[in-house]
Structure 1
Amino acid sequence: MTDYDVLRVFCGPTGGYGNELGVVREGSVIPERSDRQAFAAKLGFSETVFVDDPERGVVDIYTPTLRLPFAGHPCVGTAWLLDVPELVTPAGVVGARQDGEFCWIEARAEWAPPRTLRRYATAAEVDDLAVPAPGEWIYAWAWEDEAAGRVRARGFPGRGDGIEEDEATGAAALLLTDQLGRALNITQGAGSQILTAPQPGGWVEVGGRVFLER
């Protein structure tokens, strides 16, 4: 069996929740893309990362059904695990930094996979949503406190690959931050926390807590 770490990324203030992430630190043990795709499907996490160069931070990211040029929580989790100043993804170079209990990445909205950002009037409406039928990737959100930048959100991948709801989605948070043009404090899923902040030149920082599960 290939060795891999399991992290929880974007955990809540007490360390709970977060989105599970598989990280294969020695990506060379599974060099072929088809084999990596099969391994990611076998693990069944929303994303699995293969590290091709731990010193330079070169990574390769997969869902159970497809390869991604960039993804938020995999980059935050892997940057924390490797403790590197940047990650090299197919989309571009992702800056990374540690700040107390939070790990931050810096990326561009155009790197994120397409998401439908669907606003609702209240957080309660978002809480009450049923999982939609497979189709488009929907990021449902509402203001909890607009003045404070607090958002309630849920993510529905709609891929039909067994991941009906994504507990914490950094790429969608990046897109929402870029659209709104302001820093956000997002509660997603059952209780995960994602922090964001727009930066000059079209960059967005996305941060959260990371814990090593096993």
Structure 2
Amino acid sequence: MTDHEVLRVFCDPGGRHGNELAVVRDGASVPDESGRQALARELGFSETVFVDDPDRGLIDIYTPTLRLPFAGHPCVGAAWLLGVPRLVTPAGEVTVRDADGLVWIAARAAWAPPRTLRRYGSPAEVDALPVPPPGEWVYAWAWQDEADGRVRARAFPGRGDGIDEDEATGAAALLLTARLGRALTITQGRGSQILTAPVPAGTGSGNHQLIEVGGRVRRA
């Protein structure tokens, strides 16, 4: 088995929960795309990151079934592990900052893979949802406290690759933030926490605006 580290990304304030992420620090040990895809499938995490240049922050991201140009929780996790001011992904350059124990990345909603953002009337409705059959990628959400920007969410990738529900998804949170145009505190899955905020005006609009996504990272 190729050497890799496992992190938990988007932990709650007590360091619990978070979405597990595999990181292969020595990307050169798996140089080709087919080998990386096979390893990501074997590991079985929602995403696996290959680090191709730790100094530049050059990374390559895979789910068990496909390569992604950008994804939120892999970028937050890789940024925490590498301690770099920026990451380079196929979608573009992702800036990084640390603040109060959180790692923040800034990316554009246009980089995120398509998601169906489906609003429900209450957190209880979201909690009660069964896992849907494979098909569309659904981000189910409801306001916990609209005035305070607190959201309850669950994510159903619908890919049929063994990941029936994603514990914490930065890209979907980024898309929801872009749609609502405001900072959010999202509780997802069993209790993972994702923080988001639009970057101030001057950095684009709509899906081209920069959105910050932040969270806590721990070793699994």
User: Please, what TM-score do these two structures have when normalized by structure 2?
Assistant: 0.96
Please name the residue that 2:114 is paired with.
114
- How many residues in Structure 1 have an aligned counterpart in Structure 2? 213
State how 1:62-211 maps to structure 2 within 5 Å: 62-199=62-199, 200=201, 201=203, 202-211=209-218
Counterpart for residue 206 of structure 2: none
User: One-letter code of the match for 2:13?
Assistant: P
Please, which runs of 5 or more residues in structure 2 have no aligned partner?
Answer: 204-208
Q: Residue by residue, what CA displacement relative to the aligned partner does 1:91-117 show, whole Å, maximum 9, x if unpaired?
A: 000001111210000000000000000
CA drift of 1:13 comes to 1.1
Deviation at 1:3, TM superposition (A): 0.8
Q: Write out per-residue CA displacement over residues 165-204 of structure 1, whole angstroms, 9 at most, x where no aligned residue.
A: 0000000000000000000000000000000000132100
Distance (Å, rounded) in 1 between the aligned partners of 2:23 and 2:95? 19
| Divergent runs of 4+, >6 A | none
d(CA) in 1 for partners of 2:39, 2:141: 32
RMSD: 0.5
In 2, Cα distance between equivalents of 1:197 and 1:100: 16
Equivalent residue, structure 2, for 1:51: 51
In 1, the alpha carbon distance for the partners of 2:96 and 2:6 equals 20
Tell me the secondary structure at the aligned position of residue 2 of structure 2: coil
Residue aligned with 1:163, SS = coil
In 2, the alpha carbon distance for the partners of 1:100 and 1:82 equals 18
Letter in 2 for 1:111: W
TM-superposed CA distance for 1:33, in Å, is 0.2
Structure 1 unmatched ranges of 5 or more:
none
Q: Which secondary structure does the structure 1 equivalent of 2:50 belong to?
A: strand
Residues 128-159 of structure 1 show CA distances to partners (whole Å, capped at 9, x for unaligned) of 00000000000000000000000000000000
Answering whether residue 14 of structure 2 is matched by residue 14 of structure 1, we say yes
Secondary structure of the residue aligned to 2:134 is coil
Query: Is residue 2:219 matched to residue 1:212?
Result: yes
SS at match of 2:185: strand
Q: CA deviation at 1:57?
A: 0.2
